[in-house]
Amino acid sequence: MFTNPIDVKTYALAGLATVTITSERTKAHYTYRITQAKDDAGKKKDIWFVGLLSGPDNETDYAYLGIINGEFKTTARSRYKEDSIPVRAFRWLWRHIDAGQMPPKTEVRHEGHCGRCGRKLTVPSSVDAGIGPECVKMMGG
């Protein structure tokens, strides 16, 4: 479980992140996949796509929610309306993380795999941060 907003943001924007948030009050939880956009040549862009886990397959059942381009926003292709709970929950999470704060009364977890390359994390400090040691080096950390 994340305890540091910088680790959450670094993980989320690493390119291949899966984040689950759980309300401590209601126990409701949502799982989001955040992937970095690439141009036609495969070069990474400063836009991330956010999908919501919406079915039983944890690998493929993600419905497009919106984009992170500085801030989180829905688009014309978003599968969920602006006032839906999953959209409001992610926007609330992102506003806190972007402001350098952990969201109150909310647990934020990653899936145990590196947010950049997807490899399983085993080094305790990497498990805490959500990014493997080699990927930290490649990201300039």
- How high is the pLDDT of residue 34? 97
E strands, 1-129, are 16-23, 29-38, 44-53, 62-69, 71-73, 106-110
Low-confidence ranges of the chain (pLDDT < 70): none
- How high is the pLDDT of residue 19? 96
- How high is the pLDDT of residue 35? 97
Give me the residue label for tokens 């126990």.
27
What is the average pLDDT value for the chain, to the nearest integer?
Answer: 94
Take residue 65 and report the two structure tokens written for it.
Answer: 């929610």
- How high is the pLDDT of residue 140? 84
The answer to whether 33 and 62 have CB atoms below 8 angstroms apart is: yes
Full strand arrangement of the beta sheet holding 44-53:
71-73, 62-69, 44-53, 29-38, 16-23, 106-110
Model confidence over 59-77: pLDDT tens digits?
A: 899 999 999 999 999 999 9
- Type of residue at 50: V
- How high is the pLDDT of residue 12? 96
